[in-house]
Amino acid sequence: TFDAQLVLEPTVLAQIAVQWPGHQPRELLRDLPAESATEETWLALPAEAEETEPGFQHYPVAGLPLWRDKGITVRVLIGRAFGLESPVRTASPTTYLDLQLEAGATLELPALAPDLALYVASGNPALNGEPLPTFHLALLDSGAAFSLTASTGPARLMLLGGEPLPG
């Protein structure tokens, strides 16, 4: 099972560790403060990888790439973004980013994968000018670039997706 632990605090990313045991990928994002939410994400395997031998890999936070610019912090948990590549390997192309935007910050993102979604963990950001409520998942148009703005205060989101699996 794949466990990624993400400690969420009001404005500071305290710790991330990605652990990859076996071949039934699972991402568990767990936070310690009582006021925080818990999310869990499961990744599907391509048919050819379903019967492979399990293994285990641990990726400490220090090895997960971080990109910062003008009030924006992006941690590349899985995949590639901003010229950075996560060391975490998956059975199929996957994108998983931790996005943090300070109040007033805008992030312009190209289409990083054919299938993408944004989960709003905190704040009330806007996607291409449309408000996104906290604790909601927004499916993005396939292959489309987008603009994400934290106009009313800081926001924290997870961008996740990848290549569609056959079948």
Torsion of Cα atoms, 77 then 83 then 87 then 91, to 10° = 80
Q: Which of 12-16, 22-26, 45-49, 54-58 ranks highest by mean pLDDT? A: 45-49
Question: How buried is residue 78: exposed, middle or buried, by Cβ count under 10 Å (0-12/13-18/19+)?
Answer: buried
The residue ranking higher by pLDDT, 54 or 14, is 54
Percent of the chain with pLDDT over 90: 40
What does the pLDDT look like over 53-106, one tens digit per residue? 766 677 777 888 999 999 999 999 889 999 999 988 888 888 999 999 999 999
Query: How many Cα atoms sit within 13 Å of 150 on the Cβ side?
Result: 22
Note if the pTM is more than 0.85.
no
User: CA dist 77 to 6, 135, 167, Å?
Assistant: 10, 20, 26
What does the pLDDT look like over 148-162, one tens digit per residue? 999 899 999 999 998
Percent of the chain with pLDDT over 70: 72
